[in-house]
Amino acid sequence: MSRSRAMEAVAAPAAARDPSVRELADMQLVRRAQVSADAEAFAELVRRHQARVRGMLLRLCGGDGALADDLAQDVFLRAFRALPRFERRAEFGTWLYRIAYNVFLNHTTRTRRFDPISEGTERRRPAPPASHPDRGDVRRDLERAIAQLPVPYRAAVVLYYLRDVSYAEMAEILGLPLGTVKTHLHRARARLREIMLAWDETDGPEEAAR
């Protein structure tokens, strides 16, 4: 499919698209994409899930939008390639998040930025960021604070705030026992708030790190 045809299929006004595709549930779209390699069904799946997958990766990548979008494309392409083997035992979204987390882990491994939880993580002060975050931009501060968490904590807190992901699904996505996920989440949220509150109580992250 050429770029222009892909754009036509995707960017056409809602009324011009096949209405049946928009009304189908995820699993029905998956079935269509599996059985007949229906590009429109796959496009609808991408359209529905791109915001959450990109949002998840954006936060995992510490707010690096370009990197998150590259990884998100990789996620959907892997999903497309593996779609015939998707057994529909899990929700399609859960399956996608798992691929997204694996893609992110592969990326961090390749770039050697993986930071497993180490002894004393809870007691350490946050590392000072490269520059002072804009005090007025809560969202950016938040992304910087999330980026300071160890990767498993970061993943737990990011998935938790996606809202449509249950604890059981988080455990499945992260490949961890349910109890570990809850512990990670509890510590991650406390740590995140600690970082943010420390920034708030001082003149900035540099002061908080002292």
Partner 1 sequence: MTAQHRALRAFLRGCDVPARVLAHDPTGASWLPAELRRWALDDPAARRTIQRFVAAELALSQAPAPFDDAPFVATVVERAQRMPRAAAGVDLRATILFAAHLLAVVCAAYVLSWAVPDAPAAADGAVERVLASAQGAAAEAWGLLPGLQVHLAWGVAASALGVGWLVARRVRLPHTLRA
What are the residues binding partner 1 (CB under 8 A)?
1-3, 6-7, 9-11, 34, 37, 39, 42-43, 46-47, 50-52, 54-55, 58-59, 68-69, 72-73, 76-78, 80-85, 95, 98-99, 101-102, 106, 138-139, 141-143, 161, 163, 175, 190, 193-194, 196-197, 200-201
Contact between 57 and 78 (Cβ < 8 Å): no
Q: Which is nearer to partner 1, 3 or 123 (CB)?
A: 3
How far apart are CB 85 and partner 1 at their closest, in Å? Answer: 5
The string over 155-191, giving b where at least 16 C-beta atoms fall within 10 Å of a residue's C-beta and e elsewhere, is: bbbbbbebeebeeebbbbbbebeeeebbebbebbbeb
How far apart are CB 115 and partner 1 at their closest, in Å? Answer: 19
Q: Which is nearer to partner 1, 150 or 173 (CB)?
A: 173
How far apart are CB 68 and partner 1 at their closest, in Å? Answer: 8
Alpha-carbon gap, residue 111 to 98, rounded angstroms: 20
Contact between 26 and 94 (Cβ < 8 Å): no
Q: Which is nearer to partner 1, 85 or 112 (CB)?
A: 85
Residues contacting residue 209 through CB under 8 Å, at least 6 positions apart: 125, 126, 127, 128
How far apart are CB 94 and partner 1 at their closest, in Å? Answer: 12
